[in-house]
Amino acid sequence: MRLYLDQMFSCTLADILRNDGHDIVRASDVGQSRADDERILEYAIMEVRTLVTLDEHFGDWTVLPLKKHPGVIRVKIHPPATSAIAQRLLPFLRTHDQEQFANNLIILGKDRVRWINTARGE
């Protein structure tokens, strides 16, 4: 799976995901360690990568409206420790195809998953 990790994720998480067979790019790998959310999303769209983030702005349509995109997975785990994120994210990724994520905001919590189609009416 082609994933783009937002700037708050560690190299350790990237390595864990790579070791599970995922194609990972981190925001800091491409000079976006301080980029705003809009630029982060633009890069993910341009590179056809599902964005993985902790940022709550993804889901606030007044701040950052989502339309056509390869998917956004917003991890909602507190505290956001790398091991807890990996423990929840890995099984989720293993049971889905990347195509399923297109035009969806997926809120991945500790005990539940919420899918929101963001391209309705397109």
Whether the predicted pLDDT of 26 surpasses 50: yes
Q: What is the pLDDT of residues 97-122, one digit of tens each?
A: 999 999 999 999 999 999 988 876 44
Contact at 8 Å (CB) between 85 and 77?
Answer: yes
61, amino acid identity: W
Render pLDDT for 60-111 as a digit per residue (tens, 0 to 9). Answer: 554 456 678 899 999 999 999 999 999 999 999 999 999 999 999 999 999 9
**Tokens standing for residue 8:** 């708050």
CA dist., res. 109 & res. 55, Å (int): 13
Q: Taking the model in full, what pTM does it have?
A: 0.91
